[in-house]
Amino acid sequence: MEGYRWKAAVVTLSDKGYAGEREDKSGPLICEMITEAGYDVEKRLLLPDEKEEIKKCLCTLCDEDGMDVVFTTGGTGFAPRDCTPEATLEAAERNAPGIAEAMRFASLKVTPRGMLSRGVSVIRGKTLILNLPGSPKAVRENLEAVLPTLDHGLAILTERAGECAK
């Protein structure tokens, strides 16, 4: 939407990152990419892989902080502690599966391992929540696939535009 900068939060979910044992490279990349695309990063958080803590954070960002969009990174794989999709689904009011499907499709063009991403995209109130992988390479692939279209979806979700297609 021309002239409006979407209010965004970026949440990195990583036990090792939270403990200071690994540098977060995906969160800063998301911030860089979405800022260039016209978003204002108003919150930047780093949390451990704890489902209830993630769910509570997502609900707060949507309900109290009034974010237009929340991007998460990490915790979407098959590791036993990866619980981002489950926490996100518990925070969700409505599903928006096409976004997650588009991101997986973009990754599948690069590697068959793209099918192993369990990330989801959902809506809570007037906030869109997108789960991105934890790898900077996959983050770039996924965001490049969906950023050009998110603006229209966010404009409809936040009632800043009608639903007419162009």
* CATH number of the domain residue 23 falls in: 3.40.980.10
Coil vs helix vs strand at 66: coil
For residue 53, the enclosing domain spans 6-157
Closest CA to 128 of 77, 69, 42: 69
| pLDDT tens for the 166 residues of the chain, in order | 567 899 999 999 999 999 999 999 999 999 999 999 999 999 999 999 999 999 999 999 999 999 999 999 999 999 999 999 999 999 999 999 999 999 999 999 999 999 999 999 999 999 999 999 999 999 999 999 999 999 999 999 999 887 655 5
Whole-model pTM: value is: 0.95
Which of 96, 69, 74, 101 has the alpha carbon at shortest distance from 85?
A: 74
Number of H helices and E strands in the chain, helices first, is: 6, 6
Output the pLDDT for position 161.
81
Q: How many domains, in total, are found in the chain?
A: 1
Task: Answer yes or no: are the C-beta atoms of 9 and 71 closer than 8 Å.
Answer: yes
Question: Is residue 13 assigned to a domain?
Answer: yes
pLDDT at 4: 86
Residue 166 falls inside a structural domain: no
Any domain includes 165: no
- The answer to whether residue 104 sits within a structural domain is yes
